[in-house]
Structure 1
């Protein structure tokens, strides 16, 4: 293969990889081990200065075939900068199809699910925000909840620009 074609191909691939995710503002994952303890809170911190721009927020979950449930329940808290104002949401997401196969993307037994958290929001104050995510899965009739949630390997938080 001529050198000019090779160089053009490499430049095209680099351009393609760099332009695929231009809406991403923040994207981070944290490992939770082989099981996510119900007392383990995964926290993300990020800085937002623009109070006029709008964003979509996502919770990203990486799980494997050891995940035994069809749904996932989460408690998500977002704390505003320099205040005691914390917004708390209890969320439920479908994680498996009716036949029991896991939803999400991926070719192996590890699946990645991009779950909507908030849509088209702006951040009311400039500064450092903190988002905390805790699993809240319960067996039917079990008030305390699942102590060790098997199958979740990583929890992520993502912010995308809507522009």
Structure 2
């Protein structure tokens, strides 16, 4: 019963914590059953920008547990703009140091906030589509892992760009 209370409190506290961050513009995530991200299941998000003149930081978020067995993360990201332009990137993020200690915050569940776009401006009005796909492979193999074990969820966060120490 104590675990249920802590979980309920944690879920109720999330909006309060997020509400206190004046720079936070948008956030969303996708969870994976069994803490395993299938290669055939990209995470897709629709983003409705708040304006077209402000610069933003876009972060990718990943929460993993101790079953995550790699020191890096390879992602294929795709940003589809409202007028049809598509920008695809292959990105590598360090997830653990040389000793294997995770770089994010937490112990049983590790939270990672990975920079995706700095000083990004949503220049087009309309809906943007962000797609995240894991592109992990075993060493020496060209085939992606069918399941990336240890991934609880992935998502994004958009924050206002802080300039000269002001918001």
TM range (shorter): 0.7 to 0.9
Contact 1:49/1:126 (<8 A) preserved: no
Q: Report the CA distance shift for 1:18/1:149 in structure 2 as closer, same or farther (over 3 A).
A: closer
Q: Report the CA distance shift for 1:132/1:67 in structure 2 as closer, same or farther (over 3 A).
A: same
Q: Does 1:110 align with 2:125?
A: no
Q: 3-state SS of the aligned residue for 1:127? A: coil
Q: Does 1:31 align with 2:31?
A: yes
Q: Does 1:40 align with 2:16?
A: no
Q: Report the CA distance shift for 1:155/1:18 in structure 2 as closer, same or farther (over 3 A).
A: closer
Structure 1 residue 74: Cα displacement:
0.2
User: Normalization by structure 2: what TM-score?
Assistant: 0.83
Gaps of 5+ in 2: 1-15, 162-166
Tell me which residue corresponds to 1:11.
none
Q: Which runs of 4+ in 1 moved over 3 A?
A: 16-20
Contact 2:57/2:160 (<8 A) preserved: yes
Residue deviations 1:42-84, cap 9 Å, x none?
Answer: 0111211521110000000000100011000000001111x22
Q: Does 1:87 align with 2:87?
A: yes
Q: Does 1:78 align with 2:79?
A: yes
Measure the CA separation in 2 of the matches of 1:49 and 1:19.
16
Contact 1:48/1:123 (<8 A) preserved: yes
Measure the CA separation in 2 of the matches of 1:105 and 1:126.
35
CA RMSD of aligned residues (A): 1.5
Contact 2:78/2:89 (<8 A) preserved: yes
Structure 1 residue 20: Cα displacement:
3.5
Tell me which residue corresponds to 2:144.
145
Gaps of 5+ in 1: 1-15
Contact 1:61/1:113 (<8 A) preserved: yes
